[in-house]
Amino acid sequence: MRASIVVLMAVLITTGIEARTVKPVLHGQHWVAVTGKPLAATAGARIFHAGGNAVDAACAMLAATSTMFDVLSWGGETQALIFNPKTGKVVAINALGVAPTGATPAFFRERGLAYPPEFGPLAAVTPGTPGGLMVMLAEFGSMSLAQVLAPAIEMADGYAIEAQSADAMERFKDQLRQWPYSRDLFLVRQGEAREAPVAGEIFRQPDLAATLRKLTATEAEALAGGASRRDAIMAAYKRFYEGDIAEEFVRASREMGGLHTREDLANWRVYVEEPVTTRYKNIDVYKLNTWVQGPVLLQALNMLESIDLKAMGYNSARYLHTLYQVMNLAFADRDFYYGDPYFPPAEPIAGLLSKAYAAERAKLINQLRNEPAVKPGDPYPYQGGRNPFLDYLDRWTNVPDEARGLTPPWQLAGRDADADERTFRLGTTTVQAADREGWVVSMTPSGGWLPAVIAGKTGIGMSQRMQSFVLDPAQNPFNVLEPGKRPRATLTPSLALKDGKPYLSFAVQGGDLQDQALLQFFLNVVEFGMNVQEATEAANIVSYQMRDSFSDHVARPGVVDIRKDLPSWVRDELATMGYTLQERDRTSGPINAIYFDRAHGTLWGGSSDFGEDYGLAW
């Protein structure tokens, strides 16, 4: 009886009968713009109405969200996938900052730290978002930097702050007081009961406004001198990373105990890359390489492709168990093999994405119970090589085992759901943009979230991404801290093509949650026939069995978030399979997405009801 009810529920969802969503689908003929706040989506709409393409609009939304401290800021990192309709290709943008000079394992061990700190100037990699924005705009946009930054400059001059950012400033005021430029910017009523701004108050950032105007002034000067649009934008790029802005950033960082040097900023580069990809049935899915967790989604899809998920029933116990086990296998590989591909050793990405390797990994799925002792596999034979780290692999574990001396030093007792919520969902936003000419942008910018260190008179909030490094190669030999190296981040935009044309563009914020939510969103559309809005709002599960990419890098095998309306019989089955259930009001994550309706030549935008994300369309 229970199984038939589950199947009936799946049928109701997949056929659209009585389907209900909190937000409506966005329908557009000309463009869609979706991001973390309605105000930032309006910035994208302004650019579209002024004749810009999706890249121009995405850059304007990125600038606006960074200015709003929409759980990120200007000194963070940006990564994107762009579909170029002129070439029919997907390109990747790698604008993740690098560890500064002097940031070594020994430096942090001498200070009694198992990892770089969660907050403060010693948590900061070099700023990536300004460079990422300018390179994307220069290479693929159509407008000037001045046009694209105009909404953000207006906001830096003063905008009506929303409750989420204002309340975060108040919540973190003790940390913000540690850093003089942060204290003076965020705590506008120092000494009063509430020191941060209140919702609706005009929040002003004169130093940031001055920095952004320096960039547009440099562009204008270059244009007046006869430079091309591209070269003028790159002149502004050079001023940020090599000129007076870089000088002040470095001065302030070192004043507050940071390690940044002028050379660190001057030597940093944005990479325009080939993405990695796999085919799921007849859909080509694109992700960023191993400098983020993006290949996790591709590995999971490779394992799931031969399984009849639809027959299991949407969110049945068997379906959820299968997803959890596949994610365990993929994330274990992430935790051991992913890192900066521009530094040795070379990540075994060909083996990791091999369909044959996926088939072997899928054989490890225990159909009856959760397997807490899942380990990374060995992808090297699937690319014709030999694993140089078998000793590390043999000793690697997420499971405490004191008898064998394998208790991971990062395995913390007594961690609760509130800690999970904080570390999984502290920062990041997403940007989704598409236009009728065929440009598509999927972006997951992050870093510099509150409590952010403001870098002197630049007004720039510094990144906190260095905490994602490890100091011990036995944990992950590919992600060991080294100056000039990118930490393996969680940030993971997605694009999918069908018959060589855009099919889905989707992304979500939320640290280690991201590819879990995106996997389930994708299956909701492809396997269960949901429209893009239904799929963004649908109930997901969230696993904590992988190592947290932040702070203490803890793993909690068997712990899973479920939505509170999951039927009791499904809960009971999951509990008997070894899961510890944590109930949440919403579990989708703030997914933003665009679906491309080829039958009608229109765009469908979706934005989940998890957070304050919203979109506009025309």
Rg (CA), the chain: 23
Strand order in the sheet with 26-28: 26-28, 602-607, 591-597, 501-508, 494-498, 283-287, 276-280
pLDDT band at 18 (very low <50, low <70, confident <90, very high): very low
Q: Is the pLDDT of residue 8 over 90?
A: no
- For residue 514, being part of any structural domain is answered with no
pLDDT at 427: 61
Is the pLDDT reported for residue 418 higher than 70? no
Q: Looking at the predicted structure, is the pLDDT value of residue 417 above 70?
A: no
What is the average pLDDT value for the chain, to the nearest integer? 93
CA dihedral sign of residues 616, 445, 156, 220: negative
Helices 145-157 and 206-224: crossing angle in degrees, nearest 10, is 160
Q: Domain for residue 269, yes or no? A: no
Spatial contact of 407 and 490, defined as CB atoms under 8 Å apart? no
Q: Between 273 and 426, name the one with better pLDDT.
A: 273
Residue 43 located in a structural domain: yes
Over the stretch 71-104, which tens digit does the pLDDT of each residue have? Answer: 899 999 999 999 999 999 999 999 999 999 999 9
For residues 198-225, average pLDDT: 98
Is residue 88 in some structural domain?
A: no
Q: What is the number of domains present in the chain?
A: 1
At residue 9, the pLDDT reads 45
User: What confidence category does residue 401 fall into, taking pLDDT thresholds of 50, 70 and 90?
Assistant: low
Residue 75 has a CB neighbour count (10 Å cut-off) of: 30
Distance between CA atoms of residues 43 and 30, nearest Å: 16
Q: Both tokens of residue 74?
A: 């200007």
Q: Which of 586, 13, 560, 587 is nearest to 323 (CA)?
A: 560
Contact assessment for residue 482 and residue 470, using Cβ atoms and an 8 Å cutoff: no
The tens digit of pLDDT for each residue in 279-333 reads: 999 999 999 999 999 999 999 999 999 999 999 999 999 999 999 999 999 999 9
The Cβ of residue 591 has, within 10 Å, a number of other Cβ atoms equal to 33
How many Cβ atoms are within 10 Å of 483's Cβ, its own excluded? 15
- Write the DSSP string, 500-519: TEEEEEEEE-SGGGHHHHHH
Residue 271 CB-density burial (10 A; 0-12 exposed, 13-18 middle, 19+ buried): middle
pLDDT in tens, 532-570: 999 999 999 999 999 999 988 889 999 999 999 999 999
pLDDT per position as a tens digit, 129-182: 999 999 999 999 999 999 999 999 999 999 999 999 999 999 999 999 999 999
Helix then strand then coil, % of the chain, to nearest 5? 40, 15, 45
pLDDT at residue 552, as a whole number: 84
Q: How far apart are CA 98 and CA 82, in angstroms?
A: 23
Task: Decide if pLDDT at 338 tops 50.
Answer: yes
Q: Cβ distance 429 to 35 under 8 Å?
A: yes
Task: Provide DSSP, 167-224.
Answer: HHHHHTHHHHTTSHHHHHHH-TTTTSS--S--TTSEE--HHHHHHHHHHHHHHHHHHH
Tell whether 556 is covered by a domain.
Answer: no
Average pLDDT over residues 364-387: 96
d(CA 543, CA 516) in angstroms, rounded, equals 8
| Owning domain of residue 224 | 2-78+95-264+437-487+604-617
In-domain check, residue 542: no
374 located within any domain? no
- Residues β-bridged to residue 431: 35, 443
Give the pLDDT mean for 401-426.
44
Residue 298 resides in a domain: no
User: Distance between CA atoms of 289 and 293, rounded to whole angstroms?
Assistant: 8
Q: When comparing pLDDT for 416 and 594, which is higher?
A: 594
Q: What percent of the chain has pLDDT over 90?
A: 88
Q: Does pTM surpass 0.85?
A: yes
Residues ≥6 apart with Cβ < 8 Å to 305: 280, 281, 355, 358
